[in-house]
Amino acid sequence: MRKRLFLFAILPALLIAGCSTPSIEKARTNFYAGRYAEANENLKELPSGDKDEILYLSERGMIRHALRLYDESNKDWRKATEINERLPDYSVTKTTASLVVNDRVLTYRGMPFERTFIYTFLAKNYLAQSDWDYAAICARNIITHLDNLNGFPDISYSRYMAGFCLELINDRGNAAIQYKAAGKAIQSVSIAPDSGQIKSTLSNACAAAHSNVLARAADAREVYELVCFIGIGKMPKWCLPEYEFDMAPYAELYCDDKYLGQSYPFANTAELMNDSKKRLAVIQAVKDTSRIVIKEVISETVESQNDALGGITRLILFSLEQPDTRCWETLPLWLEVARVPCPASLKSYKVVFKTSGGVALKSKIIATPISRRGNIFVSFCRDLEEQPSKAVAP
């Protein structure tokens, strides 16, 4: 009887806690080392129906996005959103298990900002494929997410992306609403709702230079624009420090050695994670306390039958106590936007990544993806450098 009780309490916990797929860590390491093909290979086979399937799909989608395998990336991200929509809000078995083991047994759904980012990055894929209608579908999904925040942080970057996608299909009224909402949340820049143009509100040298470029462009009736979505850094697993937007790194854009302008920070994923955790802090505290009480009750019950077995039960149950740190780690730390005048014949451009103090860190020549809709060129890049791939086993 005692053994049965012990097994009843411990075995399911061990079984559930023991489920993990180590390849995701390898994939992330390879991704940040620029070995995209290897990272993609690490996540070639995904366990269907796994509690972390959405996380795997989010990570693999990002890897494939970096590899410019847009169709495959779209499939992953769209599947992730479909799974999320199908999941019930509460699962009896998993919620019960999480009260005995830890929150890692729950199906990973991501924080609301991560769910919004799936559509934001999906929109980038469609922009790269010049599929403006599907990019606009992503925009509508972003808006639905951001209009139902329920206390979670708003995301200026996603708002801007939504506005931009709607602008590209000439839905200027709704685009202006999103541009206005994006500008509201950031202090360092102002966004013109009717055109989406970004201007710095800071009076530093770079901002002044940028304003000069804009003024020159206006004088020369240079109406061609490059809109570049830039990712810098890596979202930390443990994100506690406060991030100052004034201290954000940035990127300068050049075409044929001519300065076009710079990027401005629109979102910081560590900050979004912190704010989201703050929003859930009370619920999490209640849940953690309940779990500890339940574990203590189970241990006491077993202990009342057998001291040694009770001790082991307590040891095992409390050793399973660990925080749920699962998150979409291939997201950049800083998400920035540059909207700059550019030549009509733009084929490539140079991005110089700089620290907040203006020290150049690295530069990249971007020739792809650059898609074009009328007078607007669309592109995106990240401060990661793809390394030549070793032969990947088929």
Tell me: does residue 306 bind another protein (CB under 8 A).
no
User: How many C-alpha atoms does 232 have within 13 Å on its Cβ side?
Assistant: 28
With tokens 């499939």, the residue in question is 75
Task: Tell whether residue 140 is a contact of another protein (CB under 8 A).
Answer: yes
Q: How near is the Cβ of 270 to another protein at its closest, in Å?
A: 29
For the beta carbon of residue 365, count every other beta carbon within 10 angstroms.
10
Q: Report the residue from 49, 88, 388, 394 that binds another protein according to the rule CB under 8 A.
A: 88
Work out how close the CB of 77 gets to another protein at its nearest, in angstroms, rounded to a whole number: 11
Contact call for residue 78 and another protein (CB under 8 A): yes
Question: How far apart are the C-alpha atoms of 261 and 199, rounded to whole Å?
Answer: 10
92 scored as a contact of another protein (CB under 8 A): yes
Q: Are strands 360-366 and 349-354 parallel, antiparallel or unpaired?
A: antiparallel
The SS3 of residue 354 is strand
Count how many Cα atoms sit within 13 Å of the Cα of residue 229 in the half-sphere of its side chain. 26
What is the footprint of another protein within residues 117-136 (CB under 8 A)?
A: 133-134, 136
Candidates 15, 19, 33, 87: give the one binding another protein (CB under 8 A). 87
Interface size with another protein, residues (CB under 8 A): 16
Minimum gap (Å) between residue 287 Cβ and another protein: 17
Q: Is 283 in the site for another protein (CB under 8 A)?
A: no
- Going by the DSSP 8-state scheme, the letter that residue 390 receives in this structure is P
Q: Is 289 in the site for another protein (CB under 8 A)?
A: no
45 vs 133 by CB, closer to another protein: 133
Out of 93, 187, 190, 387, the residue judged to bind another protein by CB under 8 A: 93
Q: Verify binding: residue 149, another protein, rule CB under 8 A.
A: no
Strand partners, 189: 200
Q: Does 11 interact with another protein (rule: CB under 8 A)?
A: no
Alpha-carbon distance of 94 to 91, in angstroms, equals: 5
Burial of 329 (0-12, 13-18, 19+ CB in 10 A): buried
Backbone φ, ψ for residue 211 (5° rounding)? -60, -40
- Which residues would be at the binding site for another protein (CB under 8 A)? 78, 87-93, 133-134, 136-137, 140-141, 144, 169
